[in-house]
Every structure is written in structure tokens, then in C-alpha cells.
Amino acid sequence: MKRFIAITFFAILAAASPVASTPPKGISDADKACGDQVVSCCNPTNKESSSGLISAIVGPILANGCVGVSANALNILSPIIDTAGMCGSNTIQCCSGNKNSGLIVVDLQCTSL
């Protein structure tokens, strides 16, 4: 009986454990995960960040700010460079906005992947 209780306990514990989600490896993966939202490079720190290709193009990402990468930019840059390094050490997030407008989108409301 004790063995049955122990097995049942561990089965319940395993079922209740949260599943670790795997974050996207790069912007191309995030584009699929974000759907209609804008894939963005976000700087979660209190300092400007000049890490990644996007920062090199538009300048440093401000503290706690995000810069979106439109679908047009992804289509242009994907065959040329590895989009996994596009955000550098900044985080990749999904943000509200139109992903088909222009090349770079700024001032967005974002959620983590």
C-alpha cells in the first residue's frame, strides 16, 4: 500500500510540474511564434544596448525599450545574414503593431515569448 501511495504521489507531482518551454532560437523562429504581431528586439535592462544588427542599423535600443523588425526586413535580411544574431544580447519578444509596415517599427507594447 505504501508503494502504491508513493507511486501515485510522484505521478501527481510529475503531472503538476510546469513544462519548460523552449524560447525561439532566433528572429525567424519568433516570426512564426508571433503570428500577426511584430517580432522585436527588446532591452530589459536600465542601460542602452548596442548589441545586435538592429542596434547597428537604428542606433542603441533604449533602456526598457523595443525595436520591431518587420516581415519585410526579415525577408530581406534572412538570406544575407544569420537572423539569430539580429538582436544580440537583447531579448526577442512579440509586440502589438502591423508587422508589414516599413522595415523598423518602434514604440510597441510587447510580451515575452
- Reported as a single tens digit per residue, the pLDDT across 70-105 is 766 666 666 666 656 677 777 888 887 655 555 555
What is the Cα 28 distance to its own chain's centre?
10
Q: Where are the domains of the chain?
A: 24-112
Q: Are 109 and 48 in contact (CB under 8 A)?
A: no
Q: CA separation (Å) from 5 to 1, 13, 14, 15, 102?
A: 6, 12, 14, 15, 60
pTM: 0.55
Q: How confident is the model at residue 9, as a pLDDT?
A: 53
CA–CA distance, 13 with 2 (Å, rounded to integer): 16
- Reported as a single tens digit per residue, the pLDDT across 31-84 is 788 888 888 877 777 776 565 555 555 555 556 677 777 766 666 666 666 656
